[in-house]
Structure 1
Amino acid sequence: MRHLFAAGALALAAFITPAQAQEDGADTAAPEIAEMALGPEDAKVTVMEYASFTCPHCANFHKGPFKELKADYIDSGKIRFVYRDVYFDRFGLWGAMVARCDGSAEKFFGISDMLYEKQREWTQGDPATIADNLRRIGKLAGIEADAVEACLNDRDKAQALVGWYQANAEAHDVNATPTLIINEQKYSNMAYDELSAIIDEKLAE
């Protein structure tokens, strides 16, 4: 489980886009951040995951327990699953900006799978190399190169995402990843059999 460092998160605003765009001082409305979710909104149980695309433990969760969770509970409409971004570093933020580029949950979760499956590959190298790796992932996901570039360098969106993450993490007292919130109750990372037992219990209430 990877632990958060508040100072590092707050410092993200200083280097949040690959282009390192400068502030122009203009007052603009913060972009709206879409909640990325799967499953019916009126499901009896909602499982919310706080995770980072650069967190190895999160990658392990998505390669294992999440696939079982999706097959057993999400695809059948038994639960609603909500993914909440956590940013340890600018690279996790950049990954989220590519994943959110299309704006749809379907595309987001598809790119998320790629980011976690290829985590050890795209996170290697200097910032320019990592940005190029993310551009390639966006292209593989079917997003036009110009669109990926615009998403990666959308400073307003990046700042809005950082603020959104910080507010969410504070509200749920999230200090490590992955953290699960099941019907507003906080849980640490766990094996799938433990997770499914908790979900079954809540479904039976």
Structure 2
Amino acid sequence: MQRRTLLLSGAAALTAVGGYNLYASLSGGAPLPGSTLIEPGAAQAQTSDGAEIDISQVLEMEAGNPEAEVTIMEFSSFTCPHCARFNQTVYNDLKEAYIDTGLVRYIKREVYFDAYGLWAALVARCGGQMRYFGVAEMIYAEQSDWARGESGADVADSLRRIGRRAGMSDEELNACLTDRDQATAMMQVYQNNMEEYGITGTPSFVINGETYSNMSFAEFQEILDPLLPASE
């Protein structure tokens, strides 16, 4: 089966023009036919054919209690080593103590510093909401392997292997990795989040409207416990 061309080629596929912009390109470095830069904060964000970007297709990935009084939003990049460390350590403690017990609503929102991080997010989302957290855990656990591929093709192949182990077919994965509309919408949501919450590093967290940088589990406890309703 002939391999379909990936949306982006290398980290240079994301360029800064007043902020991060999506520049979709073929693996050879040429722009996709009709591709345009996506300006953050544009009044009428549009795709390359002039249509408005439909960001409703970017599903919110959340766990825990949707009715909880405390909401935690995690902003992280799949290529960020600190994010991988957080997700392999502190997140597990949060999950056990606050998420699985229904004390908080936990939302994961992705940050795209480079093309590989966007590819990883496309793979994580490829299995839908039910598989997202499990696939994300696999991607973070193996970050030191797949993110160090010698080429974009190596990185993509490694991400596909993770996706296959999570139960996705090559056809599904290739469709996700070449879905320019989804990638453009994800980039627009990312840019909107950066502007709204002022995220400057990863991982970052917004807890009931307040923004925090990377924290230990003990620091989370100090913030979360006073916000939780008193037990009867």
**What is the TM-score when the length of structure 1 is the normalising length?**
0.90
**Quick one: distance in 2 between partners of 1:54 and 1:131?**
13
* SS of 2:220 mapped into structure 1: helix
Q: What is aligned with 1:7?
A: 16
Give the drift of 1:29: 5.3
Q: What is aligned with 2:9?
A: none
Which of 122, 142, 147 is the equivalent residue of 1:97? 122
Alignment of 1:54-69 (within 5 A): 54-69=79-94
Give the drift of 1:22: 1.7
Question: Can you list the C-alpha shifts for 1:16-46, whole angstroms capped at 9, x where unaligned?
Answer: x769772345344534210100012110100
Check the 8 A contact 1:99/1:111 in 2, yes or no. Answer: yes
**Quick one: distance in 2 between partners of 1:11 and 1:172?**
18
Q: What is aligned with 1:122?
A: 146
Alignment of 1:78-93 (within 5 A): 78-93=103-118
Alignment of 1:15-54 (within 5 A): 15=25, 22-24=32-34, 25-28=48-51, 30-31=53-54, 32-54=57-79
Give the drift of 1:204: 4.1
Q: What is aligned with 2:159?
A: 134
**What is the TM-score when the length of structure 2 is the normalising length?**
0.80
Task: Name structure 1 gaps, 5 residues minimum.
Answer: none
- Single out whichever of 129-138 and 26-35 deviates more from structure 2: 26-35
Q: What is aligned with 2:136?
A: 112
- In the alignment, structure 1 residue 200 sits paired with structure 2 residue 228: no
- In the alignment, structure 1 residue 162 sits paired with structure 2 residue 152: no
Q: Assess, with a 3 A threshold, how the Cα gap between structure 1 residues 45 and 165 changes in structure 2: closer, same or farther.
A: same
Task: Name structure 2 gaps, 5 residues minimum.
Answer: 1-13, 35-47
Q: How many residues align?
A: 199
Question: Can you list the C-alpha shifts for 1:88-147, whole angstroms capped at 9, x where unaligned?
Answer: 10000000000001221x311001000110000011121111011111111011011100
Check the 8 A contact 2:77/2:117 in 1, yes or no. Answer: yes
Check the 8 A contact 1:13/1:162 in 2, yes or no. Answer: no
Q: Assess, with a 3 A threshold, how the Cα gap between structure 1 residues 30 and 195 changes in structure 2: closer, same or farther.
A: same
Give the drift of 1:11: 4.4
State the 4+ residue runs in structure 1 displaced beyond 6 angstroms. Answer: none
**Quick one: distance in 1 between partners of 2:64 and 2:24?**
36
- Single out whichever of 195-204 and 133-142 deviates more from structure 2: 195-204
Question: Can you list the C-alpha shifts for 1:159-189, whole angstroms capped at 9, x where unaligned?
Answer: 1111110101110000100001000100111
Q: Assess, with a 3 A threshold, how the Cα gap between structure 1 residues 29 and 201 changes in structure 2: closer, same or farther.
A: same
**Quick one: distance in 1 between partners of 2:168 and 2:222?**
39
Q: What is aligned with 2:175?
A: 150
The CA RMSD measured in Å over matched residues stands at 2.1
Question: Can you list the C-alpha shifts for 1:73-102, whole angstroms capped at 9, x where unaligned?
Answer: 100111000001000100000000000012
Higher normalized contact order (CA 8 Å, seq sep 6+, divided by chain length)? 1
**Quick one: distance in 1 between partners of 2:60 and 2:115?**
20
**Quick one: distance in 2 between partners of 1:27 and 1:18?**
24
Identical columns (%) = 41
Check the 8 A contact 2:83/2:203 in 1, yes or no. Answer: yes
**Quick one: distance in 2 between partners of 1:97 and 1:18?**
17
Check the 8 A contact 2:24/2:32 in 1, yes or no. Answer: no
